Structures are given as C-alpha cells and as structure tokens.
Amino acid sequence: MTATQTRSFQQQIAEGIPAALPPAKPLDPSVSHAPRRVVEGVLSDEEKVLAIQNALRYFPPQWHRELAAEFADELHRYGRIYMHRFRPDYPMHARPISEYPARSRQAAAIMLMIQNNLDPKVAKHPHELITYGGNGAVFQNWIQYRLVMHYLAKMTDHQTLVLYSGHPLGLFPSHPEAPRVVVTNGMMIPNYSRKEDWNRFNALGVTQYGQMTAGSFMYIGPQGIVHGTTITLLNAGRRMGLGDKDLRGRVFVTSGLGGMSGAQARAAVITGCVGVIAEVDGDAIRQRVTDGYILQENVYADLGALIERLEACREAREAVCLIYHGNIVDLWERFARDHVRVELGSDQTSCHNIHDMGYCPADYTFEEAKQLLIQDKTAFLEAVAQSLRRHAAAVNELCARGMYFWDYGNAFLKEAGDVGAAVFKPGEQPLKPGEIRVIASPYRYPSYVEDILGPLCFDYGFGPFRWVCCSGDPADLEKTDRIAGEVLDNLLQEAPEEIQGQIRDNILWIRNAQQNLPVVGSYSRILYADSEGRMRISKAFNDAIARGELAGPVVLGRDHHDVSGTDSPFRETANIYDGSRYTADMAVHNAIGDSFRGATWVSLHNGGGVGWGEVINGGFGLVLDGSPEAERRLHAMLFWDVNNGIARRAWARNPHAISTLSRTMEAYPELEVTTPFLADARMVEEILKG
C-alpha cells in the first residue's frame, strides 16, 4: 500500500463504528455468498422484532429507523442480519504487522490473523464473514468486526478483550501474562444445542458457529488440512498394503472442494494417487482453480470421459486430481455400475450442516437445491435422505469389492444412519434419538481418527502444529521451513523407533512444502509435530527473531483438530474406548490451561467439523517476538497443550499414549500423571457371571 492508503486504512481501523452513517452496499457478485438461511417457522414475529432490536443496540438512536428497515430486509432476504452497509471499503487481507495501528504488538498480530480469515482468497463466503464449512463464522456481522479491530487498535498489554460468539463484550483490565483476547463461540446450555437451536439463536444474533479455526482466527486456507489429509491417505495406503512411500497407480474417490475439503486435491497429488473428487458447487471449483489447487483441464462434467481419463492415469501411474462437476451420488453409482476399481474412498461433503445446503441432494443442481430448501424445506430434507441412502448403497457395493472407506469426521455416517441408510455393522440397529453407544461405534466404517490418525498420530502426540510469519515477507516463510526441517533432522537422530516414521513423513513434507503448496493468504505453514518437536521448532524461531534473521514476529497455533484440543466422539476422540469420548473435560481444560501458561489468545467452541452440539473444541495463538518472555511462554504452554491429551488418552488405556507418557515423564521429572493398571476383561466377565 502507498503511505496514503496505509494512513486511510489505519484511520478506518481506529474509528470502529463510523461517525456518520455510510451508504448502503449492494451484494458484490464477484464473491461467493452464503445460502439463504431459512427463518420462516423458526423465528416468531416477536422474535424477528427481537433480532432487529438486538442488531440496533450497536447504534445511536438517530440511525435506528433507517437501519431497522434495512435489517428487516436482510433478515427476510438472507435469514441473518450481516449489516452489509458496514463492510469496510479497504481490501481485506493479511498485511505486514507493521501496518496495523496498535499499541500492543500482540494485538496487531491478532488483527492480521482476523483479516486473513476474511480474505476473499481464503474465506468461503467472505462478505457474510464465513470462512469455511458453510457456516463457520469469524463474526456475526460487520459491526462486530469493526468494533473488535477498534478495541485491538487501542488496547494495551494490560488489557484483555472478551468476545462472546463474535460480540466484543469489551476490554477488561488484566496483565501482560494474561491472554490479550479470550474467545467463546456457541457455548450453549447443553439441552439447547441442537441444530435447530443454532439456526434460531444465530438468527437472533446471540450466538454463532465458529467451526474450529474460523472463530478462533487461526485458519490458514486449505493448507491447514492438506497435510493431515496427506498423512491420512499415506497411512490408509500403508494399512491396506497399497504402498509404503506413495500411492501411485491407486485410485482415491471422495467429494468436496470447499474450504476444508479442497485440501483433498493437493493431498491426492502429493501422495501420487489418482484422486477423483465430486463437487456440485461451480463457485467452489472455480476458487480451487484460482488457488492453484486444481487444473481447469482436469474438470469434467461427463462421467464417461472422466472414467476414460482415470483409467489412462491409473495405467501411467500419474499423480493427478480429476474433478467431476456433479453430484457424488451419481459418481459412486456410475463407478459401481461400471465396476471401476477404487482402492480408497471417503467423503467430505458438509454433512454437519446438512439442513442448510451442506449436502446437495442427487437429481438437483446446486442452484435447484438451494431454491428447494427455501421453498419447501421438508421436501429438501426428504431429497437429502433419499440421496444419503443411495450414497451409502453405492459405497457399500464398492467396499464389497475391496475398497477401504472411512468417515472423514464430517458426520456422513451419522446423518446417513439417521435416515436409515445401510451404514451399520451386522446386527447393529440405527441409533434412536439421543441414544449413544459407549463401548464401540455401531457403524460399519471407521472414522479416520479411529483407524488412522488416532492410534498413529494423536496417541504419540503428533498433531497439526502451524505458524504464520507476520512480517509479510515470503523470505521469512522460506527461512522458517528451513529451520523446522533442521530441527526435525536433529530430532530424528534421537527419536525412539516408534515415532521415527512420523518424523520422516514430516521432514519430507517440510522440504517439499514450497513446491507443493501455493500461498493462499498469509505466509503460513503446517506440519505434524509432538510436544518436543513443537517446543524445539518454536524456540528456534524465537532465537531467529532475536538474532534478526527473521524480519518480524511469528504466530504459533494449531488446528483444534489435535491431540488435546477437541472432544468429539465421532472424530478426534473416536479411538477412546473407556466410555469417556462423550465427555468434554479435555478440551475445556486445554483452553483454561493454555490461558494461564502464556497463550496470546485462547478460544473455546461448541461445534466444529461434525456439527453443532456434537463437539467441544478449543485453540490458541501465541506470538513469538524474540524475547525471553516468549521463550518461557512457548515451553510452558506447548508442553501442556499436547501432554494434556496424551495423559487423557493414556488413562483411556491407549497403548501408544501410555508409552509416550512414560517416555515424557522420564524426560521431564516435574510431570507426574496418574496412569492406569490394566484389568483383564475376561476376569471381570467371569466375576459378573458369578
């Protein structure tokens, strides 16, 4: 930006709510917009009045009449009050930290992260403040964004900003060791946490669905899940004997090119397989072409032509991702009919958001389905139910021929099972409303965490560690990649054999990251590391900042989808078998523990991945500035952030977690954890039988 543009940007940030009412803004057709949320039959007339009153309380009374009419129109048109009039005029993207008007360097880093989450190149529906997952929101409306940026600009390191589901409650006195921001999203009383409750209370403007890294300002684009998907694919292949180093000549079929699912395209190419992804939303396909994650020449609307290309790529052992612009149900059914051999299969439709266009029913185009949802939600849901039953039947047919299929934690099995699809193990019955199976999952297919990431990564402490270079200088990203690779090389030399494979996968990942991952948004990186790896890499970054080798601070973070950050019985904690996977103590303790061990900001969310009411998850951000204080914080916080989950997983009797915990307690004598004695199940059964 020019000096004049920078000053204007800084003035608008500092202003918060404008002094004069800005002109109304029409919808920008150049960006993707959120589907209309259905509030008919959800909000009563009195509740619609309340929703508008709630929105007006941000503004002086002299604006109320004009804004009340506008907000009523938004509620009618969109099912939400986004306050489009107040969307800023400046470009929305992460800037170098030096360009933010802030008294606190930590606050400036948070401003950078917020803007990255709303960058049109990063966010799914940027003008509705939705980053990914169909409804994963950063804020509920544009005034919340403006106020938060205003507070961050004026706050000091002796204050903490409190956010209730996007709403800035205000700045409160604290101290430099406290978090600068504490975030909660969607924290409902348990009996009021159904999908229907989200639609109602979000429309009222009193809560939001922050997904995982949307509402915690830690989303870094599809890269954030590319690595996890790559690891999942490689280990699925190893599990099935398809190849140790790559998946060349193998076929992986799935769906979705959205904010999270778009990662599958890059992961397929990185692992060397022939990836086939179905996507009904043309905007999502165009966005991934723009991002460089897929090639336009590999997009097909004709299944016959796609199958012909698939077989040629299989024969040539070509690493490629082919896109079917159409419904995943049609793709699976055609592959089953034509006996197309598929080794690996999954699904990443947004089934957690199934009532709101997260899953497009077969026999409808994307636009037709959106209209059906608006005009007749009952008919829409029946079409979805029929599609899910067909979807499962086709998958079952291919699995009977040898395909390995897993649930990708998007609630596919749950939603399919709820409408009577054949997704249950022999002898298992569909779950009744509110019923849970404590001992083991009733579904015939495993969660990817249950079979792959849980036992092979999380139980060893490996999870999605990430960082963002705040200087805005691409050279800093190259340097941090090199530093991280050197740390991993050293760790490999001293690592026990049981984790050497994970470290080798991550060395290969970080060495090839520049060529495998186009930069989308901020200069950021992700790799899977355990607590020792995270601490050593972070210390090396902090030392490099202190030496002046890096041009600016580095923000540390992680996906909530991690060792300790999330309690989710059908995903992150799916391989917990002591009955505690339906509890949320781990995720809540993680956020609390991070907050007093040095995190710059912390968040705690209801919902994320598998849906509202199905998961509690939390995250953090930690700013490294080269100081001794930052070094102390990174050791204290990162150690807890991982080992909380290791201790919980060990108590659940997970063998790899037990061995990891034993090794960690030996290395850190101050760590003393309650460990389990293993009871013989047959002995207990004999006692019960008398």
Same-domain check for residues 505 and 433:
no
Q: Which amino acid is at 440?
A: A
Kindly give, in sequence order, each residue whose CB lies less than 8 Å from that of residue 408, ignoring residues fewer than 6 positions away: 254, 346, 347, 348, 447, 448
Task: Report d(CA 656, CA 30) in Å as an integer.
Answer: 49
Per-residue confidence (pLDDT) for residue 25, from 0 to 100 = 94
Each residue of 354-374: pLDDT tens digit?
Answer: 888 889 999 999 999 999 998
Each residue of 629-667: pLDDT tens digit?
Answer: 999 999 999 999 999 999 999 999 999 999 999 999 999
Task: Report d(CA 110, CA 106) in Å as an integer.
Answer: 7
Residue 227 pLDDT class (50, 70, 90 cuts): confident
Residue 389 pLDDT class (50, 70, 90 cuts): very high
Same-domain check for residues 442 and 476:
no
574 and 449 in contact (C-beta within 8 Å)? yes
Please indicate, yes or no, if residue 55 is contained in any of the structural domains: yes
Same-domain check for residues 86 and 231:
no
What is the mean pLDDT of the segment spanning 577-588? 95
DSSP codes, 170-205: EEEE--TTS-SEEEEES---GGG-SHHHHHHHHHHT
C-alpha distances in angstroms, 70 versus 32, 162, 438? 21, 28, 49
Give the CA angle between residues 121, 127, 133 to the nearest 5°: 65
Please indicate, yes or no, if residue 214 is contained in any of the structural domains: no
Mean of all residue pLDDT scores within the chain: 94
Is it the case that residue 226 has pLDDT exceeding 90?
no
Tokens 């009797």 identify what position? 653
Please indicate, yes or no, if residue 209 is contained in any of the structural domains: no
Please indicate, yes or no, if residue 303 is contained in any of the structural domains: yes
Domain boundary among 145, 176, 204: 204
Same-domain check for residues 479 and 560:
yes
Task: Report d(CA 407, CA 353) in Å as an integer.
Answer: 16
Same-domain check for residues 338 and 476:
no
Structure tokens at 444: 């015939």
Domain of residue 567, CATH code: 3.40.1770.10
Is it the case that residue 383 has pLDDT exceeding 80?
yes
Each residue of 167-222: pLDDT tens digit?
Answer: 999 999 999 999 999 999 999 999 999 888 999 999 999 999 999 999 999 999 87
Please indicate, yes or no, if residue 30 is contained in any of the structural domains: yes
DSSP codes, 12-59: HHHH-S-SSPPPP----TTS--PPPPP-TTTS-HHHHHHHHHHHHTTS
CB atoms within 10 A of CB 318: 15
Nearest to 238 by CA among 360, 127, 88, 343: 343
Same-domain check for residues 280 and 188:
no
Per-residue confidence (pLDDT) for residue 245, from 0 to 100 = 86
Same-domain check for residues 366 and 487:
no
Same-domain check for residues 635 and 506:
yes
Per-residue confidence (pLDDT) for residue 259, from 0 to 100 = 62
Q: Which amino acid is at 293?
A: Y
Same-domain check for residues 431 and 471:
no
Task: Report d(CA 343, CA 398) in Å as an integer.
Answer: 9
Each residue of 434-492: pLDDT tens digit?
Answer: 677 777 788 999 888 888 999 999 999 999 999 999 999 999 999 999 999 999 999 99
Kindly give, in sequence order, each residue whose CB lies less than 8 Å from that of residue 540, ignoring residues fewer than 6 positions away: 483, 484, 486, 487
For the chain, what is the radius of gyration of the CA atoms? Answer: 24
3-state secondary structure of 524: strand
Per-residue confidence (pLDDT) for residue 174, from 0 to 100 = 98
Same-domain check for residues 308 and 169:
no
Half-sphere exposure of 544 (CA within 13 A, CB side): 24
Is it the case that residue 516 has pLDDT exceeding 90?
no
Task: Report d(CA 457, CA 594) in Å as an integer.
Answer: 21
102 and 111 in contact (C-beta within 8 Å)? yes
481 and 544 in contact (C-beta within 8 Å)? no
Domain boundary among 204, 236, 269: 204
What is the mean pLDDT of the segment spanning 581-585? 95
Please indicate, yes or no, if residue 431 is contained in any of the structural domains: yes
Same-domain check for residues 441 and 476:
no
Residue 291 pLDDT class (50, 70, 90 cuts): confident
Please indicate, yes or no, if residue 187 is contained in any of the structural domains: yes
Same-domain check for residues 174 and 239:
no
Instruction: Please give the helix or strand (H or E) that residue 325 lies within, else none.
Output: strand 320-325
Give the domain extent around 42: 3-204
Domain of residue 268, CATH code: 3.40.50.10730
Domains in the chain, number: 3
Q: Strand 344-345 to strand 136-137: parallel, antiparallel, or no bridges (unpaired)?
A: unpaired
Residue 409 pLDDT class (50, 70, 90 cuts): confident
Each residue of 131-180: pLDDT tens digit?
Answer: 988 889 999 999 999 999 999 999 999 999 999 999 999 999 999 999 99
Please indicate, yes or no, if residue 592 is contained in any of the structural domains: no
542 and 628 in contact (C-beta within 8 Å)? no
Is it the case that residue 622 has pLDDT exceeding 90?
yes
